[in-house]
Amino acid sequence: MIIAVDGPTASGKGTIARGLAAHFELPHLDTGLLYRAVGRQVALNGGDPDDAADALAACGFNDALLAHPELRSEATGALASRVSVHPAVRAALYARQRAFAMQPGGSVLDGRDIGTVIAPEAAVKLFVTASVAARAQRRFAEMVAHGRDVTLAAIEADLAARDARDSGRAEAPLRAADDAMMLDNSALNAGQSVAAAIAAVERALRG
């Protein structure tokens, strides 16, 4: 059983995907980390994330980079959004994601194009969303808790810019699959969001 969880930045899709993986005892892949690793590697290489060749060269990142805490920063998230517009980068990371999705026993993947591109045959597809204001508030609290010097206004502006970039790109834009179940968790906390997702998946599996 493949469960695809898509949605915009800071929608809570990662938390939901981890909760689903734990509940259904399935392996989980945060595909956004792959793009964050590429973005971070471009920066380490001194390259330009808007340059397709520089972004493609960074796809050869060492797997150890996936555990680096800097991958969770707002700066790296912005870089990930920029490198993800390049078709060559998406093609380079496709096989890695596809292999994870198709492993025996099933999987849970979260990202922006899981239900539409990576695993369109997924048994269950969720599209998680929330208002920009709600997402900005969550990300702001998270960053403050980690000692980051950020402002709510800056985070809200960054999220809006990422949404426009991710939804407007020509290659695998952020959008809900036609058969995806929508989950707006603007008014839900993490626990409530996971519970709602589990209930939605169980309903889908019952047909």
Tens-place pLDDT, residues 160-192: 998 998 898 887 888 999 999 999 999 999 999
Q: Which residues contact 137 (CB under 8 A, 6 or more apart)?
A: 152
- Token output for 168: 């407007």
Handedness of CA 37, 43, 46, 49 (dihedral sign): positive
Structural class in CATH, domain 2-206: alpha beta
State pLDDT tens for residues 8-67: 989 999 999 999 999 999 999 999 999 999 999 999 999 999 999 999 999 999 989 999
Please give the model's pTM, rounded to 2 decimal places: 0.86
**DSSP classification of residue 169:** -
**Per-domain residue ranges for the chain?**
2-206
Please give the Cα distance from 3 to 24 (Å, whole number): 10
